[in-house]
Structure 1
Amino acid sequence: MILTLLEIILLSALAFCLIIQLYFVLFVHLKLANATIEEVPLSARKPISIIICARNEIKNLQQYLSLVLDQQYPEFEVVVVNDRSWDGTEEFLEAWEKEHSNLKVVKILDNEKFIAGKKFAVTMGIKAAKHDWLVFTDADCMPASANWLMDMQQPEDENTDIVLGYSPYLKRRGLLNALIRFETFFTAVNYLGFALKGMPYMGVGRNMAYKKSLFFKSKGFAAHMHIPSGDDDLFVNAHANRYNTEIRLNQDSHVWSEPNRTWGGYLKQKKRHFGAGKLYKSKHKFILSLQIIFQFLFYGFFVGCMFLSREAQYAAGGILLLSIMIRCFVYPKLLKRLNYSDLRWWFPILDILLFLFLSLNGFLAMFGKKKVSWK
């Protein structure tokens, strides 16, 4: 087989992109796939405050709040912050607060002097919490079991300030749902895998925990209060390290969430996340950008090879097939571990679709309107 210089350059570039991709697959994601999942502790050590922020969440609170209040944990409180709701949330919470001694409601009123957002609501909830160990979730979230708190409690190691949990989305019909769940899967594989390697860079507010003392010692969200997102990932990015952060993988500690039902809602959500990512630490932005750029280049070089000779096309196809085979070795186990087993046969196709969608969304986010609210 004789190849031209251009074909050799393109195939070499394609192979190099594969090597970079394999670093993430084999040295980050595979580490998570092989990690030992510890059993949920049988006893509780310290009291817990759960923080939930709600803005017009009456239906979700009616459906899921009881599952949070009924956790099998000896001493905990649930602090629900009602952020200027007008859909009946206030009346519902007032009635439930009278019936549940461990429910505390914090009410935020409209104030023309400032624009309140989720970070303000979270801060009010933290101030109202009476315990040092804080567990965070959202109004539209459902704990996988009554042992959720038992696994998200403060670890025995007093040096642990942050615990990162996992929150999959519920399965619904349609391509959008499959895409959302697949994107959530890869986001979780990344942040949990890097945390295992000693480089935690984000967490999700639907299921995470940290110390109240850490929040106030680090001045809360002061460094990024000017943007609407980042109450979860930016706080973790700024304060998590290899010594003070742990992860939880046991399925009892998962928290299920309702996914977006519309493309517009999903685009809005990803736009908020895109804005927060700009404020990550430089080393985190570098390695995450490297991951995205070489994925883009991999597909770009592959498409370029399709316009060359048949020999070059066969060689490029072989490199693509090798990439798929290696990922087929790693990701089905991870999909099962993270409650997305039904996607294992579709991941090569979803991988390409997700990449195209997020590339388009990133482009639109750079030129779209800057103002984005949390609700």
Structure 2
Amino acid sequence: MEAYIHEALFVLFQLCLIVQLYYLLTHHNGLGSYTPPQEMPEPTVPVSVIISARNEADNLTQYLPYILQQNYPEYEVVVINDRSTDQTADVLMDIQKEFAHLKIVTVTEHDRYKTGKKFALTMGIKAARYEHFLFTDADCKPATLHWITRMAANFNATTQIVLGYSPYTRTRNFLNPFIRFETLKTAINYLSSALKGDAYMGIGRNLAYTRSLFFGAKGFASHMHVMSGDDDLFVNQNATPTNAAIEIHPDTFTYSDAKTTLSSWFTQKKRHMGVGKLYRNSHRRMLSLDAVSGFLFYVLFILFIILKFEPLLAAGVLLFRLILQLLVYRRVFKKLDCGDLLWWLPFFDMIYYLYLNVFGLIGTFIKTTRWK
């Protein structure tokens, strides 16, 4: 009987491998082969850059002038001061004296109800002049002065959503490598799916879409009750096989600093928990299958080693998967400015799938009531 159980578990182990290889070779490999246009495009449309900021005086001082100096002929920057209690208002007023294309929108706390980032963004969108919106956060810095040029160049008669990429800056903090790895894996997943015509999310640190799409979908109305999701839920509900594009030229990366403590990182992740359950059913199944198969793959491998059941064969299967991962991810990691993380792959990949399942369960029960 015990032998049958072992054999059944090994069959499950192999099935998990097949699922993992499916995602690796049919999704992620396509991103490794994708090359964004290298020539500098000509500006085609005016752009409204929209930033929601709450208590971001220091970050605005450091990063906002760089966004205001983008090499683009016609654009504005709309910053929403969302109920800040620090010097954000003063900083914005000082910067506006130098940059006339900065527009300030102020949101104040209402005595009768609390507002969130979606409300602030909606106020900024309504105040924006142009049809094409480009979003980032107050703590983000575009890699170059051509960020707007390359992101906006993706808009055309059919493309209404442009998914960008926003890595974290590399530091020596002990959490930094894994936070960057998790962000990288998330990007690989959503960029790969978008390339295949099945965009399911984007990130607010580097995302663009049109005014027509926003108001045609009634903005964030369908998920205004959820604190997070101004980026991924909006994309999930409004992307089609033909209206979403990706932009991963290094000129368009927007960098920010990762959290440096476990508590601050956990607080940040809490804001994102639970949103996935509102994704389309097909996307929930896709993401769940990847998360569960990856988790079971490692659990079963460890179990086989402990039980000394075909340990060499199990190790061979693990090594086979790792080699394929290295072949595919070598190009992808380098393309997304995370080549140094390839050395961490054997360890972080296992931690990543544990993280997905644990945080997925937590997200089922935790309700976040604040965005910052």
**What is the TM-score normalised by the length of structure 1?**
0.96
Match of 2:315 in 1: 317
2: distance between equivalents of 1:95 and 1:295?
A: 51
Match status 1:170 vs 2:169: yes
| Residue pairs, 1:64-79, within 5 angstroms | 64-79=63-78
* CA distance 1:71–1:16, change in 2 (3 Å): same
Match of 1:29 in 2: 28
Match of 2:336 in 1: 338
1: distance between equivalents of 2:74 and 2:156?
A: 20
Kept in 2, the 8 Å contact 1:40–1:151? The answer is no
Counterpart residue type for residue 357 of structure 1: Y
Match of 2:193 in 1: 194
Counterpart residue type for residue 245 of structure 1: A
* CA distance 1:262–1:218, change in 2 (3 Å): same
Counterpart residue type for residue 372 of structure 1: T
Kept in 2, the 8 Å contact 1:182–1:350? The answer is yes
Match of 1:363 in 2: 361
Q: Give the secondary structure class of the aligned counterpart of 2:150.
A: helix
Kept in 2, the 8 Å contact 1:40–1:252? The answer is no
Match status 1:18 vs 2:17: yes
**What is the TM-score normalised by the length of structure 2?**
0.96
When structure 1 is superposed on structure 2, of 22-31 and 327-336 the one drifting more is: 327-336
CA RMSD of aligned residues (A): 1.5
Deviation of the 1:343 alpha carbon: 0.9
| Residue pairs, 1:196-345, within 5 angstroms | 196-309=195-308, 312-345=310-343
When structure 1 is superposed on structure 2, of 51-60 and 331-340 the one drifting more is: 331-340
Aligned residues: 371
Match of 1:44 in 2: 43
Structure 1, unaligned runs of 5 or more? none
Counterpart residue type for residue 41 of structure 1: M
Counterpart residue type for residue 374 of structure 1: W
Kept in 1, the 8 Å contact 2:41–2:150? The answer is no
Match of 2:369 in 1: 372
Deviation of the 1:154 alpha carbon: 4.7
Q: Give the secondary structure class of the aligned counterpart of 1:374.
A: coil
* CA distance 1:141–1:40, change in 2 (3 Å): farther
Kept in 2, the 8 Å contact 1:324–1:348? The answer is yes
Deviation of the 1:361 alpha carbon: 2.9
1: distance between equivalents of 2:73 and 2:313?
A: 61
Kept in 2, the 8 Å contact 1:271–1:362? The answer is no
1: distance between equivalents of 2:193 and 2:355?
A: 24
* CA distance 1:257–1:40, change in 2 (3 Å): farther
Deviation of the 1:41 alpha carbon: 3.2
Deviation of the 1:295 alpha carbon: 0.8
2: distance between equivalents of 1:367 and 1:205?
A: 24
Kept in 2, the 8 Å contact 1:7–1:308? The answer is no
Q: Give the secondary structure class of the aligned counterpart of 1:49.
A: strand
2: distance between equivalents of 1:122 and 1:64?
A: 19
1: distance between equivalents of 2:156 and 2:48?
A: 19
2: distance between equivalents of 1:156 and 1:203?
A: 16
Kept in 2, the 8 Å contact 1:11–1:315? The answer is no
Structure 2, unaligned runs of 5 or more? none
